[in-house]
Structure 1
């Protein structure tokens, strides 16, 4: 019998004799009562810790409190089970197995606390109160914490196997030999894993980004980046699942990381309004330079560019301050309305495709076919 449980038996033996009950039953009851008391006490303490953390200006104590609140309640019952194992004598094999299970449970509880802490840390680092982060910063945070989780999972798995009596060194040696055969059998899976790893390291995009590939029919918003495939939600709300190995061989655009959006339009006026072209171009450029939504630190051009088949064309080249797609189109609409108003204010009109037909009389056609001029 363990020393820790011998203390319980020695202290409770007189009470068991007085109540005329087996001392083992009384010890088990005492352990259960101790577990219940510890459960309530830990619940109160952690709840109080959580309230104190919410009142403080620090945010990381909230992460710690949230990570401890649930696993700590299970830890006290694990302690009760561990102490009660000392009551069983003569069943060494059972006790050994039970102790292995208890040690494994302790490892899993500690891993549970660590995983909850990592999850809370990710939520804290990406929370809105820390300000808006660039998508590559979000990708770095997610990638780093996911790699930490994977490393933690591997370490915990090895510790669990070691606690269950499995030879980890032999397992690792076998894994080195079997890895060759597995590598040939799972080439695509390995390629996708390495592709996912390159996404996390290079950070071409992250969850929430709008991406597109000019090489493939890929366009939409990234919903999840897994180790085997990436899920994209297309603009017609269909899920698109892409193996990660594809991204190592195609070009990917990330419009979500644009600094500006471009307005690039060509407008044509009639040939009879040629006298107004210079004034219209100057007025449109002045309007863009005074527009509150146009970024003057970027290229801004308004120039008469070509004599078209049925119009005199000038082009508008400018960048908006916003990158939001809906806001950009509202700004572009406002700019085009102002351009049309400027054209109308200068007495000009927007040209539309026209064709001039020269009609000849029947006599002119007969004379032309006979080679005789009527003039």
Structure 2
């Protein structure tokens, strides 16, 4: 697995970057009792704020032009007025009575502005949870004239943000931010305001918001992002240099495939850290929680990693002589990319606060329907995968499949094309072809030579002995016959013949050449049988009413004398030839045989 050695270091680097990029990096802020809102909730509140053009009207709610009859409607009215930068109107929602020394009613608009900034940067107020009762909540362990909308804990001290029911000038009771909360606004603003930036930058940058984020934060984010670009590139360059010092090819591959996504990931990680240092607002944290850019960078990194892995696997297949298997790389890589993109989208939706379980349930049902509809296609793809991995056959192989034979011309994703002996093309679906009995003739390393010699019953035992020994001599002596395993045996008595079984292997792999050698062996065996004075039997019933073929008594006597001589010299090599005799006989026959056009060339 040489390709794996090149993939693993880059995979380790990618894993580290991914882990760092998904670590939750929340800025150190004041502790709030309300949960951090998600991007989805932020958008929903924005939509609700736009939809609620007028003040909410509840049963028993006093008539008030600003909608301050309930805690909920009063908070909604304040947020709407402050969001429109109408701080004079927003000041109408503050109880400016009984202010401490240093504060006066004339500072109401400024106090309303500062409270809005504090709320934006520290507290997520879910107005739907506030009381819509004109008399407030009765079971919150607070006086009936007060309503708690949240609290901030700073250095162990808790500051409650309270609404209070106070009389209007005409004696009608309405809800405003309590004078106690108003008195704490300067201290809270000093703690959570923008500090010296307000003395340097125009005031409108701190008032105008986009997606709930003040323009000053957008400006700072843009500046930080621009400044971090060369830093991210520098980190990438250092990593490439480090890889180049270890392995130059690894550095080149990293540059080719991962420089862009790695730089973007580093940039997003550094950007989140930098934004955290300026104390982002609730809206900024909600936007950052979705990790949109990080998810894009992560998806980009995964897609390039799939390309890199496919490239390395393709090279490895070429080295192993499996170039045909490359056809699977493209669809498999595309499938992995689709799954990676789907996972990135689901990750973003989950970070943004959307319920992905419902979506996954819907996708699972759709996936089952698609899987059922594409069952045959999937079976053929898996069949192709089986053919490419187990490799029972490959392109160019001559094989038997089922009851047919032919040469493999193409193994595609859906079907396999085979050229038959009559030059037609058969196309078989991969799912069916992979389950067939495949006999691959191209993979054999030798050819089996296995004739049965059926001799006439008139053949004498000495003639059979002669034939057994001479055929073995011939096979041992033939340069194209493998000496082991090899046997020539008197097998038994057939219905009309005496059967001699020949078992040998022709040591060639070319089919045409094997036919040539088998032809030569057959002719030599016929010469041996003729020399023994015997003949082949016919599968027919013979009646001896007339004399049959004349029996060659002279040859029979000569064969008997030869066998007798072998016996006297202890050279009757039955049942086996000695190994030294086999070695002496090896390749002593002329092949091609004498008289062949290639005889003189082979002899030379």
Matched with 1:277 is 464
Q: In the alignment, does 2:413 pair up with 1:232?
A: no
Q: What is the deviation of 1:257?
A: 2.8
Q: Matched residues in 1 for 2:389 and 2:315: separation?
A: 22
**What does 1:81-92 align with in structure 2 at a 5 Å threshold?**
none
SS of 1:122's equivalent? helix
Alignment of 1:146-161 (within 5 A): 146=328, 150=332, 152-157=333-338
Q: How many Å apart are 1:302 and its aligned residue? A: 3.5
**Cα offset for 1:185?**
1.8
Match of 1:295, SS state, is: strand
Cα deviation 1:195-235 (Å, max 9, x = unaligned): 3333344433333333223xx33322222222322222212
Aligned-partner Cα distance in 2 for 1:240–1:167: 49
Matched residue SS, 2:368: helix
Give a deviation string over 1:275-309, Cα, whole Å, max 9, x none. Answer: 52221121001211222222222242332533553
> In structure 1, what is the equivalent of residue 268 of structure 2?
none
Q: Which residue does the alignment assign to 2:10? A: none
Query: Conserved in 2, the CA contact under 8 Å of 1:284 and 1:302?
Result: no
| 1:337 equivalent in structure 2 | 523
Match in the other structure for 1:142? 325
Aligned mates of 1:226, 1:107 — CA distance in 2: 27
Separation in 1, partners of 2:531, 2:425: 50
What does the per-residue CA deviation read over 1:154-209, in whole Å, with 9 as the maximum and x for residues that have no partner? 34456778999998989977643311111222232233233333334443333333
TM superposition shift of 1:332: 0.8
Per-residue CA deviation, residues 51-106 of structure 1 (Å, 9 max, x unaligned), is: xxxxxxxxxx9xx9xx99xxx9xxxxxxxxxxxxxxxxxxxxxxxxxxxxxxx999
Instruction: Tell me the matched-pair count.
Output: 283
Instruction: Give the match's secondary structure for 1:358.
Output: coil
The higher radius of gyration belongs to: 2
Deviation at 1:349? 4.0
SS at match of 1:236: coil
SS at match of 1:206: coil
1:180 correspondence with 2:362 = no
Structure 1: stretches of 5+ with no match in the other structure:
3-60, 73-103, 128-137, 360-375
Could you tell me whether the CA contact under 8 Å between 2:491 and 2:499 is conserved in 1? yes
Alpha-carbon separation, structure 2, partners of 1:105 and 1:217? 50
* Deviations, residues 87-126 of structure 1 (Å, cap 9, x unaligned): xxxxxxxxxxxxxxxxx999999987876665454333x4
Indicate the SS of the match to 2:481: coil
Aligned to 1:250: 436
Shift of 1:238: 1.8
Aligned in 2, Cα 1:175/1:295: closer, same or farther, shift over 3 Å? farther
The answer (yes or no) to whether the contact 1:277–1:304 under 8 Å persists in 2 is no
Within 2, Cα distance between the matches of 1:156 and 1:119? 17
Shift in alpha-carbon separation, 1:175–1:106, aligned structure 2, 3 A: same
Q: Which residue of 1 aligns with 2:400?
A: 212
Provide the residue aligned with 2:474 in structure 1: 287
Q: C-alpha displacement at 1:239, in angstroms?
A: 1.6
CA contact (8 A) 1:306 1:314 kept: no
Separation of aligned partners in 1, 2:304 and 2:381: 29
On the 8 A contact 2:471/2:488 being kept in 1, the answer is no
User: 1:373 — aligned with what?
Assistant: none
Aligned to 2:263: none
Structure 2 partner of 1:322? 508
TM-score when normalising by structure 2: 0.36
- C-alpha separation in 2, matches of 1:172 and 1:321: 62
The structure whose residues are more often helix, as a share, is: 1
TM-score calculated relative to the size of structure 1: 0.53
Superposed CA RMSD: 5.5
Structure 2 distance, partners of 1:147, 1:344, is 62
CA distance in 2, matches of 1:350, 1:119: 59
Structure 2's unaligned 5+ residue stretches are 1-221, 224-248, 257-298, 351-355, 547-604
SS at match of 1:245: helix
Counterparts in 2 of 1:106 and 1:121: CA distance versus 1, 3 Å: same
What residue in structure 2 maps to residue 122 of structure 1? 317
Contact (CA 8 Å) 2:306, 2:336: kept in 1 or not?
no
Secondary structure of 2:545's partner? coil
